[in-house]
Structure 1
Amino acid sequence: MNKYWISEIFTSIQGEGEVIGTPSNFIRLAGCHLRCIWCDTKYSWHKYEGKLLTIEEILSKINVNIHFTTITGGEPLLQDILPLVETLKSYNHTVLIETSGTIKPPAKLRELVDIFSVSPKLSNSGYKFKYNFKDDDWATYYKFVIVNPIKDLGEVVKFVEENNINPRKVILQPDGRNREYIKSLRDLTDIVLQLGLPFRVLPQLHRIIGVQ
């Protein structure tokens, strides 16, 4: 019987990325191998602080009227989520996986998952990774957290060039910890326009409307 370490399960709207505003069930898996400075879900870092639930127990906690489910974390690809995704797909769910991009999903999972929302970590996270998507671009889109626009945007441009990424797949969003969030969103937009960058700037909608 498949069991998963779960941090929380709730229903809200998707607050970011290409599906922003979409009603979604959220299954947040517990456990992460990263410790990003600006992480807003630090309570999901440690696996054993979650609850061990079966697929049936997980399904009993989601909204059956919503057929869009986001599996997030933590880092969901640390656990074997294939059986969970297979079950959700059998109930005609659109499945979105939110991941750091540091773990490549297996082929079968890639066939089933509808959307891979990949958040590569810039140096503002406290990490410096060498990603390789040039030969295998499995992400549906990329989201970057921008803390220091001038410095961070340079890293985004380098990532796009080195990995031969379609700029239309790149989404920028300000650091959600910023108390002047709307101003930071406006400032980021202004700089992107000034630099003539082809990337999309999107908010974290849940920051603005005050939902989970």
Structure 2
Amino acid sequence: MVQMKYRVIEIFTSIQGEGEVIGIPSNFIRLATCNLRCVWCDTKYSWEIGTEMSIDEIIAKLDKKIKTTTITGGEPLLQNILPLAKELKSIGHKIVVETNGTIKPSEELRKIIDIFSVSPKLSNSGHKLKYDFADDWATYYKFVIVYPNKDIDEVVKFVESQSINPRKVILQPDGNRSDYINAINEIVQIVLDRGLQFRVLPQLHRIIGAR
């Protein structure tokens, strides 16, 4: 039987920098290609074709001491990650999938993945996308805030239109801001002033200089 091959950009170990898993040591499998081209994307190199690797080759490059693995991209759901996820589960890994939310995972994949970290794109990305989260399959929703007042207005409308629990929403500043702490504070002030139930979190790797 021919073993499944994946197009991989890189495999590394670091601290999880975003979302509800922030601060947790994790292996990262960055899969190649993306169906979007966000203007502020900080991993444009993931748009490339990548290197073909088998599941065994991928597993061999993981840090065996770390039992959390994040499958990211690019957009990882462009590839069939179910066989890879099954193998990771078989060796006792907790699995996080970071996705832009434009591709719905299968029911079978949903049963295996522990956390779907979903980042719907606002208009600040250069895209105007239609999403359908009627079945609320995301573990949480992360939004990149570039223009605080305008973008948070857009998040509020998005959350209302999709009937999303606001406590599942995370706001994070544009990682390209040189005044990153100020960017966080701007978001915090708007959330407090408006009495919103969203969480505000930094990208930890921006602060500590990790990958």
| Structure 2 Cα separation of the partners of residues 209 and 185 of structure 1 | 15
Distance 1:170 1:56 in 2: 36
Letter in 2 for 1:121: K
Counterpart for residue 162 of structure 1: 161
TM-score calculated relative to the size of structure 2: 0.98
Equivalent residue for 1:190?
189
Which residue pairs with 1:84 in the alignment? 84
1:72 aligned partner: 72
Question: In structure 2, what is the Cα distance between the partners aligned to 1:37 and 1:192?
Answer: 25
Q: Tell me how far 1:210 sits from its aligned partner.
A: 0.6
Distance apart, 1:129 and its partner CA: 1.1
Aligned to 2:41: 39
Aligned partner of 1:145 in structure 2 is 144
Aligned partners of 1:206 and 1:140: how far apart in 2? 21
Match of 2:30 in 1: 28
* Cα offsets for 1:20-43 (capped at 9, x unmatched): 000000000001010000100000
Map of 1:48-59 to 2, 5 A cutoff?
Answer: 48=49, 50-59=50-59
Which residue does 1:108 correspond to in 2? 108
Q: Deviations over 1:125-146 (max 9, x none)?
A: 0011121112x11000000000
Opposite residue 17 of structure 2, the aligned amino acid is G
Counterpart CA distance in 2 for 1:67 and 1:78 is 24
1:78 is displaced (CA, Å) by 0.2
Cα deviation for residue 71 of structure 1 reads 0.1
Q: Which amino acid aligns with 1:27?
A: I
Shift of 1:167: 0.6
1:10 aligns with 2:26: no
Distance 2:63 2:99 in 1: 23
Q: Distance in 1 between matches of 2:94 and 2:60?
A: 17
- Cα deviation digits, residues 32-59 of structure 1 (max 9, x gap): 010000100000012x2x1100011101
Aligned length: 209
CA distance in 2, matches of 1:45, 1:106: 24
Deviations 1:122-170 (A, max 9, x none): 0000011121112x11000000000001100011001110111111100
The residue type paired with residue 201 of structure 1 is: V
The CA deviation string for residues 74-118 of structure 1, in whole angstroms up to 9 with x for no partner, is: 000000000000000000100000000000001110110000000
Q: Which amino acid in 2 is paired with 1:176?
A: G
Aligned mates of 2:187, 2:166 — CA distance in 1? 17
Q: Percent identity?
A: 67
Q: Which runs of 5+ in 2 are unaligned?
A: none
